[in-house]
Amino acid sequence: MKSTVETLDDNRVKLSVEVDEETFDVAVDAAFKRIAKEVRMPGFRPGKAPRRLLEAQFGSAVGREEALREAMPEYYAQAVIEHDVDVVAPPEIEITGGQEDGPVQFDAVVEIRPSVSAAGYDGLRVEIPNPVASAEEIDEQIDNLRRNFAELSVVERAAADEDHVTIDIEATHGDEPVPGLTTTDYDYLLGSGAVVPEIDENLRGVSAGDEVEFSADHPDPEEEEPLQFSITVKEVKEAVLPDLDDEFAKANSEFETVEDLRADMADRMNTMRIQQANMAVQQNTAEALAALVTDEIPESMIENEINARIQDLVQRLQQQGMDVGAYLDAVGQTAETLAAEFREPAEQAVKVDLALRSVADLQGLVPEDDRIDEVIAEMAGPSGQDPDELKARLAEVGQISALRADLAKQAAMEWLTDNVELVDEDGEAIDREALEFSARGAEEDSEEEE
């Protein structure tokens, strides 16, 4: 088989393929064997009629047509692998010779992955949550702990946020009571936003003995008629927090002093914040990188990504024993609205893919063959496969290029996350050592366990 590749416009190439008559005859022979299984000829069992008799009865064109239909995808795939064509859509194939006899010739025009510009990638500024808790945030967590042990004291004043208000509450929809929203002596934390938002608005400033009536939007958006509330205020109580001293620390924690309690609180908060910040570095860097791509993205790539996401969802639902149709009904969606919902993240994912490839090329991060061999050896190790045999199988199906691209993209993302400017919500620079602390701590914990 011989093939050539020609670059066309609009991110397309044309593969011209010629399959010699001897090679194609193998496919024709296989085609007639399939045909023999489907026809009945006197004196022969199904599938045993010889090719020459089938050709005599049906003509050689039948076998060639069947062979073309079955073998064409394989010939095309071989040409794609031979020329390392990074296809992103099905080809448009035109047979140019060999339908009746002689070598088979065809052209395949196919869309390929484009190169995009990611100008500015080396000066990205990425916002992430500050990995270090502020003194005020630590104080708030300490106060939350104190609130757990607060005593409620009745006050003769108007209610304010964080007060506990004892109320009788009655809610109706139309003329019917609303189950769960009609009760007596309910202890409501003012400002909590529980039940419905309108409760806070109407209870701020009330005193014991007051009665308030108001309407609130029904939680079901399809219900146009609002809920009607009638509330009687019985008591207003304020939470009296215990003093923050060493006695409090001893009684309500494992620590002897407030200083130790505060230090532990800071450590736990920082551990969580560092984890969140590290996750945000990669995610937000990817988003910032995608925003640099202004080139037009092939619709075929976006559709491929949407389909991949839908297929992933389908597989996860099936693993959980759920029917896809039932799931869509439950969430009020159709296949069309689901695809539309996936479109924006799919387009961003494609932009990230293309931009990472661009960064890898510009920074010289595309791995050499030695690195590919190392990775294949690592892949082969757990199962005891021979690395050379695994590499040969990967090459046979054109996966070496995909592996090289994946490694290049990983290296590009690592380069970016190491080189972007990191700032917090206030635009202040982030100390990278604070982010690395999480990884060091995890390694130390692992070593201690061993």
Strands 104-111 and 176-177 come out as: unpaired
Q: Is 325 exposed, middle or buried (0-12, 13-18, 19+ CB in 10 A)?
A: exposed
Q: How much is the pLDDT for 243?
A: 95
Q: Are residues 55 and 186 in the same domain?
A: no
- 198 and 288 co-located in one domain: no
Indicate if 212 and 262 belong to the same structural domain: no
> How confident is the model at residue 162, as a pLDDT?
93
Structural domain harbouring 217? 151-240
Enter the pTM of the model. 0.76
Examine the domain organization and report whether 272 and 392 are in the same domain: yes
Residue 245 within a domain? no
Same domain, 344 and 433: yes
The confidence score (pLDDT) of residue 179 equals 87
Domain count, the chain: 3
With a pLDDT cut of 70, the percent of the chain lying above it is 94
Mean pLDDT of 170-175: 91
* Domain end position, chosen among 53, 83, 111: 111
Q: Do 410 and 321 reside in the same domain of the chain? A: yes
Q: Is 214 in the same domain as 68? A: no
Most confident of 130-134, 321-325, 341-345: 341-345
Q: Same domain for 101 and 196?
A: no
Alpha-carbon distance of 347 to 320, in angstroms, equals: 28
| 279 & 405 share domain | yes
Per-residue pLDDT, averaged over 101-126, amounts to: 95
Mean pLDDT of 254-271: 95
Is the model's pLDDT at 416 over the cut of 50?
yes
- Both tokens of 397, joined, read 């199906």
The answer, yes or no, to whether residue 277 has pLDDT greater than 50, is: yes
The mean-pLDDT minimum among 32-41, 77-86, 435-444 falls in 435-444
Q: Rounded to the nearest 5 degrees, what angle is found at the Cα of 406, between the Cα atoms of 402 and 411?
A: 150
Q: How confident is the model over 123-129, as a mean pLDDT?
A: 96
- The residue out of 189, 206, 240 marking a domain boundary is 240
Give the span between the Cα atoms of 2 and 7, in whole angstroms. Answer: 17
When pLDDT is averaged across residues 274-302 and rounded to a whole number, the result is 95
Q: Do 344 and 396 share a domain, yes or no?
A: yes
d(CA 54, CA 45): 13
CATH number, domain of 225, equals: 3.10.50.40
E strands present in 44-144: 92-97, 104-111, 125-127
Q: Within this chain, do residues 344 and 294 fall inside the same structural domain, yes or no?
A: yes
Residue 222 confidence (pLDDT): 79
On whether the CB atoms of residues 314 and 324 are closer than 8 A, the answer is yes
**Does a structural domain hold residue 146?**
no
Is residue 397 domain-resident?
yes
339-370 residue pLDDT tens: 999 999 999 999 999 999 999 999 999 999 99
Work out the pLDDT band at 263, boundaries 50, 70, 90. Answer: very high
Residue 437 pLDDT class (50, 70, 90 cuts): low
pLDDT score of 64 = 83
Mean pLDDT of the region 182-196 = 92
Clarify whether residues 89 and 190 are in a common domain: no
Of 98-102, 114-118, 182-186, the poorest mean pLDDT is in: 98-102
The answer to whether residue 175 is domain-embedded is yes
Residue 120 belongs to some domain of the structure: no
Mean pLDDT of 242-265: 95
